[in-house]
Amino acid sequence: MAEESNDEHYLKAATELGDSQKVLAHQAIYSSNGMKLVERGLRVDSGLFERLINHRLQLPIDESLTAEKAVTLEDLRNQAEALITQQPFYGRLAAELSDRVTLLGAIGSIALPKAMAFRLTVARDRGGALFEHSLQVALIALYLGIRQELEVPDLRALAAAALIHDIGMLHVDPEMLQPDHRLDAAERRQLHAHPLTATMIVRQRPEYPQAVARAILEHHERHDGSGYPRGLKGAEISVMGRILLLAEVVAAVLDKKTSAPEQRLSLILRLNHSKFDAQMSSVILKLLEQGIVDETDSEQDIRNAERIKSLADDFDEWSKARSEMRHYAAGAPVVGAFLTDRVATLERSLADAGLHPDQLKSVCADVRDQPGEVRELAMLAREAGWQLKGIIQDVFCRFPTLETTEEPGEVAIRDWLLQLNGRLQ
């Protein structure tokens, strides 16, 4: 456990916290073989990183450090209240006084041992947008939990799971998270490990019920089995896990710096209806109906038409590749079946949303003089393109030997995936 909590990236962030505020070792820090590395009462900053990284520690680093400006329950409640006040979507979550009281009450009463408070402080001060994202997820998750009629203790556990669900991200190389960084297959597998890391950390804390660790482990699962780390489906995912995975997606989409984020989120939920709990999705969609505004932007409309044409070209390419892949199926039955199934699922979702790939050209002609309709179709096209990129990344992540294989069937699949990925840049 100490090794998991003190890898290079987290240890670096934890010691760098001492460069911006006072961080003390409230107990001596020892290596696993009993060597004293840091005296009790010593101030810790980035200057100690090199001394600590060369040893496996006896205890996780956050068990030994105290930050002067550590996150408190009052901080969590106040910042959640600020989100409700300042951002319209989160304001709608608390439009009813009873919801507001329950939301803020649950967040302000979670179990917060000192070691976890330290981790949240690192997330707040060294983790970029990680801390605010977790607060956003907590508010959305609690709103869904209230609609699921969870009892107060369960809401408190759900709030804790939401607030700490991404602490495993503190163990990921920050360079991988830069907007312009393109993940390779190995890095994507590392990123996919963050729910496991967070789960191991939380399971060591007796303050949290097992439901908290389970929900954190499941926050990237999907109802149709396309998620990770275990590929669970439907009822295999706990109720808290289903709430958390949806809340995480909602917060992530709304926080992206794109035009009309609420309209895009509505589209994503409708396009990916098989990935999320239908009843919970309907709750979010009703909230979105209150806030979506149809804005006019003629230049954007031109770009929208181009996106739709690009999507049609992508699916034309896929239709050709499907017939080629059947020819090579004997050489790559597992990869081919996985890829074919995932894209067929995307095609069905597009059809359910009113835009099957075979209908693209005719639909575009029908709505040519309706900017609002073109805008929604373009957002759908863009989302489908992102879905295709996600499928490509997932294939390389699940089948790492695909990058170096010389099997004819797998080579054909790899070449097509790389070609399509290049077009989707």
Quote the pLDDT of residue 295.
46
SS3 57: strand
Q: What is the mean pLDDT of residues 362-380?
A: 58
Top mean-pLDDT range of 138-142, 186-190, 334-338: 138-142
Quote the pLDDT of residue 331.
59
Quote the pLDDT of residue 367.
47
Between CA 92 and CA 87 the distance in angstroms is 9
Between CA 406 and CA 319 the distance in angstroms is 24
Between CA 275 and CA 24 the distance in angstroms is 45
| Residue 2 near residue 58 (C-beta atoms within 8 A) | yes
Between CA 248 and CA 219 the distance in angstroms is 7
Quote the pLDDT of residue 103.
96
Band (420; pLDDT cuts 50, 70, 90): confident
Closest Cα to residue 136, out of 101, 196, 88? 88
Residue of 344 and 219 predicted with greater confidence: 219
In the numeric block, which tokens belong to residue 372? Answer: 């609002």
Between CA 118 and CA 329 the distance in angstroms is 52
* Omega cis (within 30) before 195: no
Between CA 308 and CA 360 the distance in angstroms is 8
Top mean-pLDDT range of 63-77, 178-192, 348-362: 63-77
Quote the mean pLDDT of the chain.
84
Quote the pLDDT of residue 3.
46
Residue 204 has pLDDT above 80, yes or no: yes
Q: What is the mean pLDDT of residues 320-343?
A: 69
**Type of residue numbered 271:** L
Record the pTM. 0.79
pLDDT in tens, 6-33: 588 999 999 999 999 999 999 999 999 9
Between CA 273 and CA 261 the distance in angstroms is 18
Q: What is the mean pLDDT of residues 108-115?
A: 96
The helix or strand, by DSSP H or E, that contains position 132, with its residue range, turns out to be helix 130-147
Quote the pLDDT of residue 189.
82
pLDDT in tens, 118-172: 999 999 999 889 999 999 999 999 999 999 999 999 999 999 999 999 999 999 9
Altogether, the residues listed in the chain come to a count of 425
Q: Is residue 368 packed enough to be buried (19+ CB in 10 Å), middle (13-18) or exposed (0-12)?
A: exposed
Closest Cα to residue 28, out of 1, 50, 59, 4? 59
Helical segments of 165-238, H only: 185-192, 194-203, 210-217
Query: What is Dmax (Cα atoms) for the chain?
Result: 75
| Residue 140 near residue 103 (C-beta atoms within 8 A) | no
Quote the pLDDT of residue 317.
62
| Residue 28 near residue 36 (C-beta atoms within 8 A) | yes
In the numeric block, which tokens belong to residue 40? Answer: 């009790």
Closest Cα to residue 220, out of 187, 197, 202? 197
SS3 100: helix
Closest Cα to residue 69, out of 108, 113, 39, 24? 24
Residue of 211 and 420 predicted with greater confidence: 211
In the numeric block, which tokens belong to residue 26? Answer: 């409230």
Residue 338 has pLDDT above 90, yes or no: no
Q: Is residue 279 packed enough to be buried (19+ CB in 10 Å), middle (13-18) or exposed (0-12)?
A: exposed
